[in-house]
Structure 1
Amino acid sequence: MLRGDTSRRGWTRKLVTSLAAAATGIGVAATLAGPAAAADQQQQLADYINAGAKKPVVAENILKGGSTWQTPAGNGPQQDSFLPAFAYGLTNSNAAPPGANDWSCKPAEGQEPVVLVHGTWENAYNNWAMISPALKKEGYCVYALNYGISNPLQGGGLGGLLPGANGTGDIAKSGKQVGQFVDKVLKSTGASKVNMVGHSQGGITAREYLRYDGGAAKVDNLVTLGATNNGTSLLGIGALGRNINNLGIDTLGPVALGVGASGIQQVYDSVYIKHLNAGGKYAIGDVNYTIVGSRYDEVTTPYQSTFFPAGTPHTKNITLQNGCEQDTSDHLALSYSPRAVSIVLNAFDHKTKIVCAPNAWLFG
């Protein structure tokens, strides 16, 4: 048992530092928030823990503010790795990835339009500046949206202060936004169904749409890349925070002020993850699922937590490195992996050869 106010503050300060560090794993933009903002978040959480709490205030219930979505316009350049795409997206926050959002496009025979769903603190451009043009080259009509756009006062966290840091709003609301965009794509193309690709939170936002917003009738295939399908431990710290919360002190509520509602919703054993997988239902309707994970994923941890349970119908769980050890893609590099691109194409046409090529951690 901790004794004395000084020792208690020291312990909570260490916990806060660990939680804040873990929170940055939700998205690369956290490192750009600045030391002053991080210190304020840490002090706020330390004060909260020191004061104690008679009963927990569940984070998922205090940060479900409003959010909006946009259709990106004007195509940015093709990129081969995340970092230059991220840099371009900072000053072109509503750019469409190359090849995407051509509203005159009509699917070729045997093809369906493809909708790309970005991850937390990412946007349509920086997430898809490699995959989008690869799909377009193969003749697909490609579409990408920016969703979950939420400022800090709406529950968007510090990401809301950065241009193009989207996907921070309540995931249930984001699923509805994806549904509105899919309807726009179907109307424009005349197609009856789409294929989808989701990175990180984009995978579970797509699944939210499939399960709770009627999307299963409008989607043929869903490929997820490093999706937080079963939540993430954030290297164990997220789980620690959740356990402390369940004991009566809501450590995650104040942290959510920094990382945003969707970040907290993705923590292992959260109310949201339980909602998404309720009843053990992962595959919905006749949708085909291809679930891709990387051994080097440092955000969706452990990386196996991305996979659906063994035996789930209509599902392929794929570890990126199986048969290709030289691809060391981490979380952010997954959507810039030539191997991952070929897996996406194969999931849609069942004939593209799955390639093996080196791809570096983070800088892939």
Structure 2
Amino acid sequence: MIATTHPLRRALCGIGIAAGLTAASAFGPATAAPTLEPTIGSLAQYLDAGMVAAADGRTPTAIADTGSGSGSASGSSSGSAGSRASDAVGEGPEMSSYLAAFAYGLLNPDAAPPGANRWDCKPTAQNPRPVILLHGTWLNAYDTFSYLSPRLAAAGHCVFTLNFGKSGLLEAGGLGAVLPGRYGVGPMADSSRQVAAFIERVRAATGADQVDLVGHSQGGTIANHYLKFEGGQGKVGKVVSFGGTHHGTSLLGIATLGRMINNAGIDILGFYRPIIGASNVEQAVGSPFYATLNANGDTVPGVDYTVVGSRYDEVMNPLELGFLRAGPDATVGNVTLQNGCEQDVSDHLTMMYSPRAASIALRALDSTGNHALACTFNPWFFGGGGSL
């Protein structure tokens, strides 16, 4: 869900830009100026309304380029207008602190976490399924997994990841998109399709019939949507989620209040959509997205789920919102990070820099179960066992 480290100054600047564009539409001719929505297409319509015919009689028109055709360094990109995905390329350094990883991710927004996207990797008998890492909202593959990815690779897993849900401020990506590398902001159904295309590439490259999915925050929801609506059933063995927004988030009650107001007939969440982004509006508890996602239960047959939550998670609260209920032919292990390790006080972001969380992922993914559970102090806000 929402990362809380973005400067207020950027937010205020973005609000000013959005407000300025909206106000500008009021000064055009009353019969010509369209309503200016926060999309590239609407902005193009607004510009077209003010165009004057040239001397030769032709009238210039604006071209609405959403960027959906621009891909990664390898030329792969998928998605719809206003949302796209790209590979994470060029391995960045291993980090033990989320803050350090966040800073590196700002300067290198499409860096791959260490150990990931080695396309010549072949699964082994011990680890037969490639592991796909799915980041959360306003995050990217690197700043989410620069701690976990190298540990999975060192344990013999083939690790792959991508940046999905890439969208700009005027594409309903929200103010988070103003900062480099703030992805996972587009509509989640689009992101799910982008992940589905990436998984097919991984399966083709590795020869594996199935993959395992590790998702953080929105990444857990994307894993569920892929399984239920994008042909993922039968292609996934295990799902491991950390702080997954499986039933939406109340965000300390704010999203719940917003949904109540919306249900009363006042579209307050629609008003905030240009500010917080499409995926954050969808992740408000009680949204139509979740009504559809979980209409037939939390799980799909044939999948083993491990769901990890933290008592100190400021986004996924109450804790139980992130847990799953097992349906037919599925297994679910709901794990509270602090059970048996009270000194781990990881929050929503630093959970991915917790030695205990990493050991839970390794144990869940390794069928031999030979990985011991770690238990170290992991401070809220900093992470990485206090090592910066």
TM-score by length of 1: 0.84
- Render the CA deviation track for 1:290-339: whole Å, top value 9, x for unaligned: 00000000011112210013778410000000010000000000111110
Q: Please give the secondary structure, in 2, of the residue aligned with 1:85.
A: helix
Say if 2:324 is the partner of 1:305.
no
1:32, CA displacement in angstroms? 5.0
Q: Would you say the 8 A contact 1:68–1:150 is kept in 2?
A: yes
1:92 lines up with 2:68 in the alignment: no
Asked if 1:136 is matched to 2:112, the reply is no
**Per the alignment, do residues 80 and 65 of structure 1 end up closer, same or farther by CA in structure 2, a change over 3 Å counting?**
same
Q: Is the 8 A contact 1:115 1:195 kept in 2?
A: yes
Q: Who is 2:7 aligned against?
A: 31
Letter in 2 for 1:228: T
Q: Write out aligned runs for 1:45-84 (5 A).
A: 66-84=82-100
| CA distance in structure 2 between the partners assigned to 1:89 and 1:139 by the alignment | 25
- Compare CA radii of gyration and give the structure with the larger one: 2
C-alpha distance 152-29 of structure 1, shift in aligned 2 (>3 A) = farther
Q: 1:31: how far off? A: 3.5
Q: Are positions 1:354 and 2:354 aligned together?
A: no
Q: Which residue, 282, 299, 315 being the options, matches 2:332?
A: 315
Gapped regions of structure 1 (runs ≥ 5)? 1-24, 48-58
Residues 342, 35 of structure 1: CA spacing in aligned structure 2 closer, same or farther, 3 A cutoff? closer
Matches of 1:311 and 1:103 in 2, distance apart?
A: 35
Aligned to 1:16: none
Distance 1:334 1:177, change over 3 A: same
Structural mapping, 1:111-122, within 5 Å: 111=127, 112-122=129-139
After the TM superposition, which segments of 4 or more aligned residues of structure 1 sit over 4 Å from their partners?
38-44
SS at match of 1:69: strand
Any residues of structure 2 matched to 1:8-27 within 5 Å, and which? 26-27=2-3
Write the mapping of 1:1-364 to structure 2, written as runs, cut at 5 A.
Answer: 26-32=2-8, 34=10, 36-37=12-13, 40=16, 66-111=82-127, 112-279=129-296, 281-309=297-325, 313-349=330-366, 350-364=369-383
CA contact (8 A) 1:93 1:163 kept: yes
- Of stretches 150-159 and 97-106 in structure 1, the one that deviates more from structure 2 is 150-159
> Structure 1 CA distance, aligned partners of 2:237 and 2:274?
37
> Residues 33 and 158 of structure 1 are in contact (CA less than 8 Å); yes or no, is this contact kept in structure 2?
no
Distance 1:227 1:302 in 2: 12
Aligned partner of 1:12 in structure 2 is: none
Name 1:51's counterpart in structure 2.
none
Render the CA deviation track for 1:240-264: whole Å, top value 9, x for unaligned. 1111111111111111111100001
Closer, same or farther: CA 35–231 of 1 in aligned 2, 3 Å = closer
Measure how far apart 1:43 and its partner are.
8.1
User: Which shifted more, 29-38 or 85-94?
Assistant: 29-38
1:15 corresponding residue in structure 2: none
CA distance in 2, matches of 1:82, 1:103: 26
Tell me which amino acid in the other structure corresponds to 1:335. M
1:11 aligned residue = none
For 2:278 and 2:9, the matched residues in 1 are separated by 17
Work out the number of aligned pairs and report it.
Answer: 324
Asked if 2 retains the 8 angstrom alpha-carbon contact of 1:29 and 1:165, the reply is no
Tell me which protein shows more helix as a share of its residues.
1
Structure 2 unaligned blocks of 5 or more: 24-37, 43-79, 384-388
8 Å Cα contact 2:10/2:178 also seen in 1: no
Deviations 1:183-222 (A, max 9, x none): 1111111111111100000000111101101112111100
Cα shift at 1:40: 4.4
Aligned mates of 1:254, 1:96 — CA distance in 2: 35
Is residue 299–residue 327 contact of structure 2 (8 Å, CA) maintained in 1?
Answer: no
